[in-house]
Structure formats: C-alpha cells, structure tokens
C-alpha cells in the first residue's frame, strides 16, 4: 500500500444517509444553556442527523439580510467531542465556523466576565497531534478574529486578543504550568481551542472564537466565577454577537451596539 494511502483515515467524516445539507456557516456553542437560548432567539429548528445522540444540530435562517441559513451545534465538552462535531459540520458543507465558549484566565487583569479572543493556541490535548499540519501553534482565521475584536471594541467590551492554552487535564492545571504559561503571555486556559483550530486548518475551514472568562487561576489559587452575574450576561451578549456575525457572513457593518 502506498505511504500516502497508508496514512489516510479508515473512518472518515462523511455526509451520512439522511444527513442535511448545511449552509456554509456554523456557530458551535460549547455551553448547553447558551445553545438553548440562541436556538430560541434565532428561531432555529432542530435537524435530525446521524450523530444526534452525541450533540444537537439546528438550522436558523440567515436573518433580515437574506444570507444563507446558519447551523447551530452543541453542546461540546473537551477536544475529542468538539472535533467530532467540527468534522461533521465540515462534512455537511460548513466552511466558516464561529465558536462560543468559556475559559479560565491566567493573567491578573482578566476577570470573570471578561472576553478573550484567541488568535492562536498552545496544545496540551491529545487530539490535534493526529492532524498533520505545520509544526507551529494553530492560528485562528485572522480576518474573522479581527471582525470579532472590532465588534467587541465598538460595543465597549473588556477583552484581550491573544494565545490560549488548551488541556484535557482540568485537574492538572498546576502552579508550575500556570506560571510557565503566564510568563509566555498566554491569556487563558480552555479544553477545545487548539484542537478546533488544528482541525479547521487541516480541513481548510475558517474558524474564530469568542471566549468568556468563567474562573481565574492567575493567583495560583482557583477563583470560580460561576456565581458572578456578569459571566452569564456577557456570555449572552457574546452569543448574540456571534449569531449576528454568522448571519452577516463576516460583514459587521450593521453589528449591534
């Protein structure tokens, strides 16, 4: 068997029998309650497909501009689960992906409810290494990332753009590792971004994300922010913004202020 064929996947992400044809744009939502809320405000309709037991898939219309329908998918937890969803979305025709999630801050000036816009990610998860791309930190799509940042700035939101650290081991975020990534200027830690960025690059899709700080590790002690109303208020605002951007297919000229 030729070496190229020998490295091809045996189980491939494909459009299965009865799977829908999606439009070119999708919004992946890591969070269960935020997905339910976005489905409700967008009027999205659930779509049955071959991976329905693993996460949910919906389609919303393109909004007043008459843009193509937008797929909403989730919730997801961790790199393998999120990549399973991303692979399927791409197989069903999606080319542009927006991501909404939470993260833990590593820097003292990032507090619960602040926004993080990842432009690249450092991988300590086990999924992305199986996708052969150039040996560098996977990067978000620069144009889409700039679009999110400009919209956040117009709205006066507290945000930072930069690198995030992705790990599978939520209970092994040690002081040594936190200090290491702080010194590198890494903004936050999450469980999906490096894998999503890697797979998007490998499959030729464009991807950008907006994360909301849910907890803080910069003091080397865990400070959860899950009782902070600002976390949930800002997550809702961020989700609404990404839905708008998805519907506008990247045009922010009429983004809500």
Any idea which residues carry the catalytic annotation? 215
CA distances from 179 to 68, 104, 107, 215 (A): 45, 14, 10, 16
Residue with tokens 């432009």: 119
CA distances from 29 to 4, 73, 74, 76, 232 (A): 35, 6, 5, 7, 14
Please check whether residue 122 is in contact with residue 181, taking contact to mean a CB–CB distance below 8 angstroms: yes
Identify the burial level of 52 via C-beta atoms within 10 angstroms of its C-beta, where 0-12 means exposed, 13-18 middle and 19 or more buried. Answer: exposed
Please check whether residue 143 is in contact with residue 250, taking contact to mean a CB–CB distance below 8 angstroms: yes
How far is the C-alpha of 81 from the C-alpha of 83, rounded, in Å?
Answer: 5
How far is the C-alpha of 85 from the C-alpha of 57, rounded, in Å?
Answer: 9
Residue with tokens 């990067």: 139
* Spatial CA neighbour of 60 closest among 90, 88, 25: 25
Q: Which residues of 202-225 are buried (b: 16+ CB within 10 A; e: fewer)?
A: bbebbbbbbbbbbbbbbeeeeeeb
Q: Report whether the peptide linkage leading into residue 75 is cis, meaning its omega lies within 30 degrees of zero.
A: yes
Q: Which residues pair with 122 in a beta bridge?
A: 165
């Amino acid at each position: 068997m030729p070496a190229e064929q020998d490295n091809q996947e045996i189980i491939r992400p494909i459009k299965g029998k009865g799977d829908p044809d999606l439009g070119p744009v999708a919004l992946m939502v890591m969070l269960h309650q935020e997905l339910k809320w976005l489905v409700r405000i967008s009027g999205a309709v659930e779509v049955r497909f071959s991976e329905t037991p693993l996460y949910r898939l919906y389609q919303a219309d393109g909004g007043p501009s008459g843009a193509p329908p937008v797929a909403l998918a989730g919730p997801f937890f961790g790199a393998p689960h999120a990549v399973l969803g991303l692979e399927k979305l791409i197989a069903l025709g999606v080319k542009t992906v927006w991501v909404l999630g939470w993260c833990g801050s590593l820097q003292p000036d990032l507090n619960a409810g602040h926004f993080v816009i990842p432009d690249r990610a450092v991988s300590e998860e086990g999924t992305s290494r199986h996708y052969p791309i150039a040996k560098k930190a996977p990067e978000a799509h620069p144009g889409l990332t700039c679009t999110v940042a400009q919209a956040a700035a117009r709205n006066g939101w507290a945000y930072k753009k930069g690198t995030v650290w992705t790990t599978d081991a939520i209970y092994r975020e040690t002081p040594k590792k936190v200090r290491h990534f702080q010194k590198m200027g890494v903004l936050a830690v999450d469980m999906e971004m490096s894998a999503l960025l890697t797979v998007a690059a490998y499959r030729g899709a464009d991807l950008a994300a907006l994360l909301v700080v849910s907890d803080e590790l910069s003091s080397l002690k865990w400070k959860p922010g899950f009782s902070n109303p600002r976390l949930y208020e800002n997550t809702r605002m961020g989700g609404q913004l990404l839905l708008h951007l998805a519907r506008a297919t990247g045009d922010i000229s009429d983004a809500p202020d």
